[in-house]
């Protein structure tokens, strides 16, 4: 599955696959606040990218104490086919009454702003917070598409944004949301 549209001169794609195999200037990691790796996409990126990513994460952690929920930091991409990995910490879903939606939107805003500062032309996002953090997948897809659309409408620099969905359910959901006129 590969869905693609153009919005404000930026190609936005949805693909199903492994983000560690994606070719983009930036690969986004759905990290935890410790930045020391974990399970899911976080573990996969650390394994595929090699020890250089963890070394950079440790340096960041020593300097600023990790990364807050909604924040974003960048490291080398190590062995990945990217220039950088941007680590962003999505919220754990706790029923929706703890600013989870705003925090997830902030993840996208901070990550996209960092991409511009790094002069990236392409960026690949995983489905932030929808795994062990239990953020409702449909709500997460809406927020992701909405924030990306808003960002490319207001900023110039990125040429391609890719949502890399590990599973078919998310790929179909993101494709549907991307093709809807309100996305």
Which residue out of 2, 18, 42, 97 is catalytically annotated?
Answer: 42
129 membership: H or E segment, kind and range: none
Decide: 137 and 130 in contact? Cβ < 8 Å.
Answer: yes
Q: For this structure, is 56 an active site residue?
A: no
**How many CB atoms lie under 10 A from the CB of residue 182?**
8
Decide: 171 and 15 in contact? Cβ < 8 Å.
Answer: yes
Distance, in Å, from the CA atom of 19 to the CA atom of 174, rounded to the nearest integer, reads 15
The token pair that represents 54 in the structure block: 């963890």
Q: Which residue has the tokens 């930091």?
A: 73
Report residue 49 CA to chain centroid gap: 16
Give the catalytic positions in this structure: 42
């Amino acid at each position: 599955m590969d869905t693609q549209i153009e919005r404000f001169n930026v190609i936005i794609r949805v693909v199903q696959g492994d983000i560690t195999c994606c070719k983009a200037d930036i690969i986004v990691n759905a990290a935890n606040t410790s930045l020391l790796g974990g399970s899911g996409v976080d573990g996969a990126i650390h394994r595929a990218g090699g020890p250089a990513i963890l070394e950079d994460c440790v340096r960041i952690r020593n300097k600023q104490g990790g990364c807050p929920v909604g924040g974003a930091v960048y490291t080398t991409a190590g062995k990945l086919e990217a220039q950088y990995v941007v680590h962003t910490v999505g919220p754990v879903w706790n029923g929706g009454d703890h600013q989870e939606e705003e925090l997830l939107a902030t993840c996208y805003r901070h990550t996209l702003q960092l991409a511009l500062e790094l002069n990236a032309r392409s960026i690949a996002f995983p489905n932030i917070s929808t795994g062990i953090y239990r953020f409702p997948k449909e709500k997460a897809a809406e927020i992701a598409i909405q924030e990306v659309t808003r960002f490319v409408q207001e900023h110039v620099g990125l040429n391609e944004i890719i949502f890399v969905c590990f599973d078919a359910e998310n790929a179909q959901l993101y494709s549907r949301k991307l093709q809807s006129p309100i996305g």
